[in-house]
Structure 1
Amino acid sequence: MKILALELAAALVISAPVMAEPQLMKTIPNLPGAESIVYDQSKQTYFVSLQAGDKAGDGSIVALNKDLNFIATVASGLENPKGIALAGDTLFVGDMEYLVEVDLSSGEIIKHAAKNAQFLNDVAIDDNGDVYVSDMFTSVIYKMSENQVTTWIDSPELENPNGLTFIDGDLYVAAWGYFNDGNPIEAPYGRILKVDPKTKKISAITEKPLGNLDGIQVDNRGDLLISDWKQGTIYSVSEQGQSRMLIDLPRGVGDIYYAPNTYQLFVPMALEGEILVYRNISL
């Protein structure tokens, strides 16, 4: 019986699927303060937010072609643009006190003020076309509906939200970790949270704090891909909240983008001014 049990265990190990290790495929340089990247399938174009340096108005959004070569600057004069979301021909980006709307057809830029906002970050759009933006410094999520930006949730339970994404109608949040002293570098770790849009109930996906979290995506398996800005780590997190490290990088990992058709992960590295492209993600 013992021999049979060992043979069965060995067979299970041999037949278990082996996950391919993430491999660095490409580095895209000359992107100062690269923070977020999205892909427009219809245009075969990537859009990247650049925080640039410390001068007022030096932030921008640039377009890259399908081969990841620079095409054009589609928005300039921004302060500190971070998370981007795309709806048709319109880009939405969090930029300090403003939710910025960029019309890609006309080039028009509209800045929507968010009352009492300090550090608007990531953006997500629900099935109704309403736009949500996180404020990492005030632990608030704002909502824009019919061109009006209002406070949607204001709660320390959001743990100073950073990354946002909708999955099956629920809003998932990558939290930086709650702080109220204006010093995010010394903030405690945050968790992955889920918000029910109907009840606004906040629940935790990861029971324990995971890191100073930034980007959030979902892969082909339905697992979450999470970036930790301070630790420079990319995690895979299951629906049950179990996490494992995929990639270990220097500090400054921004708002990641996952391409499900090619199993690629795009990782903005703000401090290096580049984007890293990895393959074999959730393959």
Structure 2
Amino acid sequence: MATSVLLGSLLIMACNDNDDRVPPDPVPLPEVVAFTQPNLYPEGVQYDAKNSRFLVGSQTAGTVGFVQDDGSYTALSSDAALVSSIGMHLDDSRNRLLVAVSDPGYNKQRTLGTTLRKLARLVILNRDNGQLVRSVDLGGLSSAPNHFANDIAVDGQGNAYVTDSFAPVIYKVDPLGVATIFLENSRLGAPAGAFGLNGIVFHPDGYLLVAKSNEGALFKIPLANPSSFTRVTTSQNLQAADGLLLQDNNTLQVVTNSQAKVYRLTTTDAWANATTSGTFTTQPQYPTTLARREGADSYVLYSNLNALQANQQPPVAQFSIVKVKF
């Protein structure tokens, strides 16, 4: 009997000790992840939660790499199909990284007269090891003289939609790699030398939201009937709109690189209209695209592409991925 009482007392004490324990505070996310890789000039960024790292491309090096919170950079893929890596999309459930590839002439080792300002390609890599899964030509589908694959969205069935900034075209690539023109319309065009279609996201209600940089416009494009697309009415000037991130069904984040701003837009009528509900002012280092990390937190990439376009010497060596705060 005494033994039972003693054991009971010990159990109560143990329970009390456990109840008194305070769980450790979660490790806060970094405000800035800075990394050094001379002449990299990344344009696209995604967060790979499975491997706890940011994925970044390069307009100059023909690589896709990853950056960890300590600022270390490691090349993940240098496949020959990567000329200049622009927008990226991490298709988490299918374990693949989709990369929009173009040739603006900044990769001196891989640019060619036949591809300069004419290349639009979708490259699909294994997310974990960077191995090439598939390379799909897109520019050959359209008779437009110039092409620039810019950004990618993926729907629930695994179809990829790729914008072309130099042609009024959105391409569709099915899970087997079959490419078609999803939408081609002169209203989506831009003057020669200007960037038209840019950032793109898939909305789970069955449509795409697409930014048009030169016009500062946002379009809603139904998957079932893309030719019936409409312009979203916004009071905000979205000139130089670049990357998009759908925070939730009614909230969209938009990067505007020459404005050095990230705008948060909100809708109450399924993206017929949108109002500005927040603004984050970035450093003037040509912010391009956004990555979602751990819930609602987002990060914006400072690409410094303005320095690349100006042929700054020596080239920029340090780049930053910065937490967005509205």
TM-score between both structures, scaled by the size of structure 1: 0.76
In structure 2, relative to structure 1, the CA distance for the partners of 1:135 and 1:89 (3 Å cut) is: same
Q: Which structure 1 residue ranges, 5 or more long, are not aligned?
A: 1-23, 53-57, 178-188
Deviation at 1:85, TM superposition (A): 1.1
Partner of 1:48: 56
Deviation at 1:130, TM superposition (A): 0.6
Match of 2:75 among 49, 52, 72: 72
Aligned partner of residue 86 in structure 2, secondary structure: coil
Give the fraction of aligned pairs with identical amino acids, expressed as a percent.
Answer: 21
Partner of 1:8: none
Correspondence list, 1:122-271, <5 A: 122-145=151-174, 146-158=176-188, 160-168=196-204, 169-177=206-214, 189-200=215-226, 201-207=228-234, 210-219=238-247, 222-239=250-267, 240-243=273-276, 244-250=278-284, 252-261=286-295, 263-271=297-305
Q: Is the 8 A contact 2:65 2:74 kept in 1?
A: yes
What is the CA–CA distance in structure 1 between the aligned matches of 2:130 and 2:48, rounded to whole Å? 17
In structure 2, relative to structure 1, the CA distance for the partners of 1:263 and 1:210 (3 Å cut) is: same
Larger relative contact order (Cα-Cα within 8 Å, sequence gap ≥ 6): 1
Please give the per-residue CA displacement for 1:138-158, whole angstroms capped at 9, x wherever unaligned.
Answer: 121000013111111111333
Correspondence list, 1:72-151, <5 A: 72-77=75-80, 78-87=82-91, 88-96=94-102, 97-104=120-127, 105=129, 107-108=131-132, 110-114=134-138, 115=140, 116=142, 118-145=147-174, 146-151=176-181
What is the CA–CA distance in structure 2 between the aligned matches of 1:29 and 1:206, rounded to whole Å? 38
Please give the per-residue CA displacement for 1:8-37, whole angstroms capped at 9, x wherever unaligned.
Answer: xxxxxxxxxxxxxxxx92142325211111
Q: Does 1:277 align with 2:318?
A: no
Larger Rg: 2
What is the CA–CA distance in structure 1 between the aligned matches of 2:95 and 2:46, rounded to whole Å? 13
Paired residues in the alignment total 243
Considering fraction of residues, name the structure with more strand. 1
What is the CA–CA distance in structure 1 between the aligned matches of 2:298 and 2:173, rounded to whole Å? 31
What is the CA–CA distance in structure 2 between the aligned matches of 1:195 and 1:276, rounded to whole Å? 30
Q: Which structure 2 residue ranges, 5 or more long, are not aligned?
A: 1-29, 103-119, 190-195, 268-272, 306-315
Give 1:215's aligned amino acid.
Answer: G
What is the CA–CA distance in structure 2 between the aligned matches of 1:106 and 1:230, rounded to whole Å? 32
Aligned partner of residue 157 in structure 1, secondary structure: helix
Q: Is the 8 A contact 1:157 1:202 kept in 2?
A: no
TM-score between both structures, scaled by the size of structure 2: 0.67
Q: Where does structure 1 differ by over 4 angstroms across 4 or more consecutive aligned residues?
A: none
Range 116-125 or range 130-139, more displaced: 116-125
Q: Is the 8 A contact 1:218 1:258 kept in 2?
A: no
